[in-house]
Amino acid sequence: MKRRDLIKKIGFAAGTVALSNVAMASPVASDQKKRRVLKVAHITDVHIRPEYNAMARFKKCLEMIKKDKVDLILNGGDSIYAADYDNIKKDRVLELWSCWKKSVELVKDIPMYSVLGNHDMWWQGKGDELFGKPGVLKMLGLKNSYYSFDKNDWHFIMLDSNHPQTPGMLDEEQWNWFVQDVKSNADKAILIMSHYPLLSCTGIVDNKPDFIGPFKVSGSYNHLDIMKFIEVFNKNKNIKVCLSGHIHLLDKVWYNDVNFLCNGAVSGFWWEPGDDNKSSYKQTVPGYSIINLYNDGSFDDEYIKYEA
Ligand SMILES: [Fe+2]
C-alpha cells in the first residue's frame, strides 16, 4: 500500500469513529471494512525470581495468554528481578535467567520479541559472557538491542532506552537508525516498544522524594528525547502506538494523535505483598495487555488482571 493510500484509509477510519460517536450509520465500503490483522500480548516488568511463588504465578499469566490465542508476545523488559545491583553474583544471574527460560517454555510456540530493561543487565562480571547488554541479548536470543520487523501490514520498532550515560533516551547511532527506519516504512502503521515510557503521566503520580518539585519529572518517566520523537511523529502520521513499562503503573496518554500506553507490570509490586497486600504497586495490580491491531492503523487494548 502506498503511503498516500494509508493516510487516506486512516483518515477515513478516523472520520468513521467521529460519525459513530453521534450514532450515524458507518458508510464504510465492504473492501475497506475495518478488520483485525493482529492480536498481541504485551507483557512487561516480569522481574521473574525464585521467591514469592513468582514462577507459578507467571505461568498462570502465560497460560491465559496462550488461551487468548495471540499472534505474538511483546516483552517490554525487566524480564528478571534484578541483575544490575552491585552485590549480584553470577550464580544469582544464572538462577534468574533459568527461572525465565523455564517459564517462557510454556509459550515457545508463540513468537516473542523483547527489549532490554534497566534491571536485566549484569554489570559486575566484566569479561564474562553474561556481562552487560551482550549477556542479556544472549539470554533473550537477540542479535541487537534495537531492531524492527513487519507483521501483517504493521511495522514494529523495538527500542533500547538504556543509554549508557543518561538512561531514558537513545544514543546518536540508535536515533539515526530509528529515523531512517521510520522513513523506510511510511506505508505501514507503526507500533513502537521501549522499556522506559516515551511519554507518560506516571511521573506526576509516582512522585518520589528525590524530585525537587511535584512536576519535575526524570528521564525514568518520560524519554529525555521525547521532543525529538514528537517531531518525527508529527511528520509521520502512520506512527500509532507506543508501548512501555518500567514504572509498574498503568496509564494511557494520547498526544497529537499518538497513543502512549504504559502497561503496568506482570510482577506488580515485584511479586511482593505490595500496597494492597495483593502485589499492587499503588493502584496498579499485576497484569498484561491484549492489543488488537487493525488494518486501518487503529487499535484497541485491555489490561488483564490475571491474578484478580
Ligand atoms: Fe521494572
Give one DSSP letter per residue of 180-235, joined into a string.
Answer: HHHHTTTTSEEEEE-SS-SS-SHHHHT--TTSSSTT---TTTS-TTHHHHHHHHHH
Question: Are both 292 and 251 inside the same structural domain?
Answer: yes
> How far, in Å, is the centroid of ligand 1 from the Cα of 57?
17
User: What is the value of pTM for the model shown?
Assistant: 0.89
Distance 45 CA to ligand 1 centre (A): 4
Residue 145 sits in the same domain as residue 269: yes
Ligand 1 mean position, distance from CA 197 (Å): 12
Range of the domain at 202: 37-304
CA of 230 to the centre of ligand 1 (A): 25
Whether residue 54 sits in one domain with residue 6: no
Position 6 scores a pLDDT of 43
Do 22 and 66 sit in the same domain of this protein?
A: no
Q: Which of 229, 189, 214 is nearest to 40 (CA)?
A: 189
For residues 43 and 27, state if they share a domain: no
Q: Which residues have CB less than 5 Å away from ligand 1 (the ion)?
A: 45, 78
Shared domain for 24 and 49, answered yes or no, is no
Q: Are residues 172 and 285 in the same domain?
A: yes
Q: Give the β-pairing of 154-158 and 189-193.
A: parallel
Residue 122 C-alpha to ligand 1 middle, in angstroms?
Answer: 15
Question: From ligand 1's centre to the CA of 221, what distance in Å?
Answer: 12
Domain count for the chain = 2
Same domain, 45 and 20: no
- Whether 74 and 167 map to the same domain: the answer is yes
Here the cell at position 220 is 525514568
CATH number of 233's domain: 3.60.21.10
Distance CA 81, CA 96 (A): 7
Query: Are 153 and 247 members of one domain?
Result: yes
- The parts of the chain modelled with pLDDT lower than 50 are 1-28
Cell numbers found for residue 252: 494511557
CA of 135 to the centre of ligand 1 (A): 18
Ligand 1 centroid–CA 160 distance in Å is 15
Strand 154-158 relative to strand 147-151: parallel, antiparallel, unpaired? antiparallel
Looking at the structure, do residues 98 and 113 belong to the same domain, yes or no? yes
Residue 142 and residue 88 share a domain:
yes
Residue 134 Cα to ligand 1 middle (Å)? 20
